[in-house]
Amino acid sequence: MKFSEQWLREWVNPAVSTSELAEQLTMAGLEVEAVEPVAAEFTGVVVGEVLSVEPHPDADKLRVCQVSIGRGEPLGIVCGAANVRAGLRVPTAVVGAALPGGLKIKAAKLRGVPSAGMLCSAKELGLAESSEGLLELPTDAPVGEDLRKYLELDDASIELGLTPNRGDCLSLWGVAREVGVLNRAQVHVPAIEPVPEAIDDTRPVTLEAPEDCPHYVGRVIRGVDPAAVTPLWMQERLRRSGLRSLGPLVDVTNYVLLELGQPMHAFDLARLTDGIVVRHARAGEGLTLLDGQAIELEAGTLVIADGAGPQALAGIMGGEASAVGDSTRDIFLESAYFRPEAIAGRARGYGLHTDSSHRFERGVRPGLQGVAMERATALILAICGGEAGPLVRANADDSMPRQAPIHLRAARIERVLGEAIPAEQVTDILERLGLEVTPAADGWQATPPPFRFDLEREVDLIEELARVHGYGRLESRRPTGRLEIGARPEARVALSRMRQVLVDRGYQEAITYSFVEPGLQERLDPGAPALALANPLSADLSVMRTTLWAGLLPALQHNLNRQQERVRLFETGLRFRFQGNEIKQEMMLAGVVSGRRYPEQWGLSAEPVDFFDVKGDVEALLALTGQEANYIFSKEKHPALHPGQSAVVRRRGEPVGWIGALHPAIERELGLPQKALLFELELAALEEGRIPTFQALSKYPAIRRDISIVVDDDVSAQQVQDCIMAEAPEALRQVQLFDMYVGKGIDSGRKSLSLGLTLQDLSRTLTDNDVDNVIDTIINALRTSLGAALRE
């Protein structure tokens, strides 16, 4: 929100300087981002009147002007502006004047003709970035008066950086209210009287979407002058508020927007068909906007339509087909209240952001529409002439917002602020803010005014008390409270330990977006529908991830494209999956690995990382739980992983993660120059550890026996180990697979597995006979259950 300080002081004029005013607003939560002069420094410029204009004897584009400055003889000034003419009142820089940019005005000759001064454009005075001719002043501008005084250029433009909850301060009226409250100063609201009806013309208005637009006001105005010019005072106020003049009809609506905070729009009446209908867009409808952009309307978008179709995006921008122009004689002026939720996000969805949508998204005061219509009508009639018809109102009172009373407790104020505020001061502050206050047994009942959408809870009122009372006036007090150490499960594995294990194994932690590219997401997890964002940052970040791989793989691609040949990344974060009609958010730990097994060095060969390297990293994580025996890796296919190099990680039979090589087809689509391996695990499963318990160490020697068995190719080592542990006595301490062989001497479709079996008893030394019996039992179980044969 940007505005002129002088304009503000016409509404409320506290006895504070500009810097004090800026500090007040900032400390009250309305941060002042900039305070700038409204014009560059210049001196010696007065209001001049062009008495006559004659052609220059030696230059076709120059004119010799006689200019009166209200004293002495007229000045002879040579000017090349196309709009110079007799009777024009214009800024005149006399000899000795200093203009912006260090320009000094001296008596000179232009092509042989003396020139005692300079007629100025807005650009030359630093009032505009560009201008096409001289700055034309009103015909009643006092000749000879200093231009800075006449245009009141000793002014400041103040820009506020408002938070989204303070939509009530997106107008001069709203800022004036705040300044009045902070300084206990009277706010002078301009008198806005109903405009008498001069004609009977109306346009019927129908609300087909009353829940989104419960109040709409319209008026026909006929006979406006298309040649009318926006008064200089209005142009200046718009300029100082960051808006440029676009013609009187548009300027008036912008002026009312800045002054009262109500966006308005003027339609060319001759371009409207039948009545006005406020409705939702239908499938297949389109609209060309004022900026020339043609859009296809989404179903559900609120529009202002007539018999021919949509004419404006409600609360955002008007349409080109019904826009006012240089030939407009009759207009239909609209002023409406739109529910903030109906406008929020719509402008950005179409790639737009306007002053109108900015205000409607944050909330416009209900009931302000009629007042704004009368104000705009009076200004249009004064500037453009014409005759006004009666107000046409369409209401859906049941859908209008209503403010509920808030219970404010005195004890709660003291607890939150650390200081009690006297009861009479609380009542005074709330009433100055516009709330209706009634006493209650333990405090107050306060009903917010209709323009304060952000006041909903008790803490909101306490915040208002603090900022108006003054944060700096609140007593500094150290907080007190009971300090208790919360219970922490002993068995829980901390995420920091997992991170450290991966870092120790050469990984680096990555942080990627939770929203990802939908095409890649579909390729990685085709069975899980992704949640689409209503207002994505870009098309490449438009759905929520169902797997962390959707962020890690682009990160890998980014690094490989920058000559980083050995990449190891891990990430912890949420994945988002549909569970019925709700979204389930699960914390996951995922990683991606590519390149050499070890960093480049002379002592090791350049072997690429493989499935078992990553499996070892995952097993190191599982070992932190102290119950790695509960986890098994089962060969299983995953759409994103290589069919022959993928496994599901199960805990007590339930899947908790995946590990494997990236599918070659996806690898080619991403343009990866080398193999990538992935893993993803549920963090909750990794956090569930086991409290260590002591087990006595045997003082008797351990005995190891190695066996080699031949099994079918589809029999996994895990099945062999499970079978052995199921049949083995308590003395069997460890089963270690140390070799696998396929080739000469082994039948086709079979493989040889070599295992080391370690046996040890706690109470005695095992004999060879004891060990032989155990081995025989194990081999018989393997032969019966898995069809294994002892390799000779």
pLDDT (tens digit per residue) in 299-351: 889 999 999 999 999 999 999 999 999 899 999 999 999 999 999 888 988 98
pLDDT at 136: 92
Q: What are phi and psi of 259, to 5 degrees?
A: -75, -50
pLDDT at 611: 95
CA distance 536 to 302: 20
Q: Count the helix, strand and coil residues of the chain and give each as a percent rounded to the nearest 5.
A: 30, 30, 40
pLDDT at 345: 86
Which tokens go with 112?
């042989």
CA distance 513 to 501: 24
CA distance 161 to 26: 9
The SS3 of residue 630 is: helix
The SS3 of residue 156 is: strand
CA of residue 245 relative to chain centroid, distance? 30
CA distance 525 to 553: 13
Are the C-beta atoms of 511 and 705 separated by less than 8 Å?
A: no
pLDDT at 428: 95
Residue that is written with structure tokens 């305070």 in the block: 35
CA distance 754 to 675: 30
Strands 276-280 and 205-207: parallel
Query: Within 13 Å of residue 261, how many CA atoms lie on the same side as its CB?
Result: 26
pLDDT at 226: 85
User: Crossing angle for the helix pair 410-417 and 423-432, nearest 10 degrees?
Assistant: 90
Residues forming a β-bridge with 336? 216
Contacts of 442 (CB under 8 A, 6+ apart): 409, 410, 411
pLDDT at 553: 96
pLDDT at 457: 94
Question: In 229-346, where do the E strands start and end?
Answer: 264-268, 276-280, 286-288, 294-296, 302-306, 309-313, 317-318, 331-337
For the segment 523-561, what is each residue's pLDDT rounded down to a tens digit? 999 989 999 998 888 888 999 999 999 999 999 999 999
**Which strand (E) or helix (H) includes residue 622?**
helix 611-623
Strands 515-516 and 543-544: antiparallel
CA distance 344 to 534: 11
- The residue ranges of the chain whose pLDDT is under 50 are none
**Which strand (E) or helix (H) includes residue 340?**
helix 340-343
Are the C-beta atoms of 135 and 143 separated by less than 8 Å?
A: no
Which tokens go with 130?
């560009």
pLDDT at 161: 94
Domains and CATH numbers, the chain: 2-38+156-183 (3.30.56.10), 43-150 (2.40.50.140), 205-399 (3.50.40.10), 406-472 (3.30.56.10), 495-687 (3.30.930.10), 703-790 (3.30.70.380)
DSSP letter for each residue of 358-418: HHHHH---TTHHHHHHHHHHHHHHHHH--EE---EEEE-GGGS--PPPEEEEHHHHHHHHS
The SS3 of residue 716 is: coil
> Which residue intervals of 51-158 are DSSP H helices?
147-150
Buried b (16+ CB within 10 A) or exposed e, 217-246: bbbbbeebeeebebbbebbbbbbbbebebe
Residue that is written with structure tokens 């190695």 in the block: 706
The SS3 of residue 147 is: helix
CA nearest to 521, candidates 537, 542, 501: 542
